[in-house]
Amino acid sequence: MKNQDYIEICRTLIEKKFGHGSYSQWTNGDYEKLSELISDDIKEHISASSLKRIFGKVNYASEPSTSTLSILAKYVGYKDWYDLINQHASPSNELPKPEKKKSFRLLKFALPVLVTGFTVYMLFLVKEEKLEHTLTFHTSKSIAPSNVVFEYDISKMSADTVRIDFNDHFARDRRENVKVLSPSNKTITHTYMVSGVYHPILLADGKPIDTLSISVYSDSWEYIIAQYSFSSQEFYPVSQSSVHKKEGVMTIPTAEVYKYTKDTITNYWLKYRYLKDFGATANQLTFNLRGRSISSFKNNCNEFDIWILGSNNNIIFKIFDPGCGGEFSKVQLGAKILDGNFNDLSAFGHSLSVWRTIRLNVVNKKAFIFIDGKVIYEGKIEGEIGALKGFVIHTKGTAEFDYVNLEADGKMLMKDDF
């Protein structure tokens, strides 16, 4: 089945649980009420406007994000979106009842104390759950590079092929990122060379059935030159000694970039990364930076991308030269994504050839984005960002930074004026 088929299954299950008749007849008040019920039930938020898009009340070109769909899946009794797909991955068009599936899972935990006859019955039902597995991980080093050992058991699965997608954004090609798992083995390893929050995915016959969240931290600042083309991607780490920090300004010099790439007009990015277990949430935070582009090429669309990374989801926005952005611009507030193809994000267009002060405030699940002290955007965060894991600044072309600081839960977590 396609993803839309699973979305329709989820809609039908929610329709039944909500009990307000056919969702095709729901009113605005119904969506507001459903939003409240979901928040009360699973303590995660999804807005009425997002529900309208998912249920077809409002036209929207893009599919919902996995994190948004997971909220809906949890509301009708599943662990996450992958669990819902797993439970319904069958050729039958009949919609199994989640209540029955949940009872199977609960009974499996009680098998040791059941009488013999009922145990045999339950084992038969467990056998029907063809995608039974375990997947965990451990690592002896949380700082990049980090060699992660995945422990798994797929011996009871009936899938023809089981793969793990390490979901490593910095893997050079697909062969490094996806490996076939053997039922006779119990472990497989992967080295994450760059810090980040990774969500490896277990795939059975191409269908996602499980995922993990792995945090790999940086020792302090981490710097990367990245070059992209239609067929490949290359990443070059930059040593601390090659980064200039003089007179209160940080920059990766153009000369350093030229060591690795000659196409410095369209395809290279500089990544300034800072990932740490801050011991704080992303619910109340302030992120500040002052910077400017010093790219010497004309007609190049300079851009700053700001990523605030959480254990569950991210906050992302882009500042770009006026006239640029367009289809490549984006704002992400947790599960809420605004694509520049279908949304007017021209407020994020500001010349980056001059010094700009950029600030993000998050207060009571609402984000406020400022340029030079003026609010250019505000919006509600959907879902949970989770624990604060760090931030990344991507610049298209070379740039300079005067200061960067991050505050959360009323504490200054990181402050650097170089």
Cis status of the peptide bond prior to 145, with omega within 30 of 0: yes
Task: Kindly list the structural domains of the chain, giving each domain's residue range(s) and its CATH number in brackets, ordered by start.
Answer: 3-89 (no CATH), 134-216 (2.60.40.10), 222-416 (2.60.120.200)
Residue in this structure with the two tokens 């996450």, named with its chain if needed: 80
Specify the pLDDT at position 173: 67
- Picking from 195, 31, 21, 6, the residue whose alpha carbon sits closest to that of residue 88 is 6
Maximum distance among all Cα pairs of the chain, rounded to whole angstroms? 78
- Dist CA 384 CA 292 (whole Å): 31
Per-residue pLDDT of 328-343, as tens digits, reads 788 999 888 888 878 8
Distance CA 346, CA 324 (A): 9
Helix, strand, coil proportions of the chain in percent (round to 5)?
25, 35, 40
Choice among 90-104, 214-228, 302-316 with the minimum mean pLDDT: 90-104
From CA 230, how far away is CA 221, in angstroms rounded? Answer: 29
- pLDDT band of 115, cuts 50, 70, 90: very low
Q: Calculate the average pLDDT of the chain.
A: 83
Residue 73 CB burial class (10 angstroms; 0-12, 13-18, ≥19): buried
pLDDT at residue 342, as a whole number: 80
Q: Is the pLDDT of residue 107 over 60?
A: no
- Report if pTM > 0.75: no
Task: Give the tens place of pLDDT for each residue, 244-301.
Answer: 998 899 999 888 888 877 655 556 889 999 999 999 999 899 999 999 998 766 557 8
State both tokens at 232: 């490949």
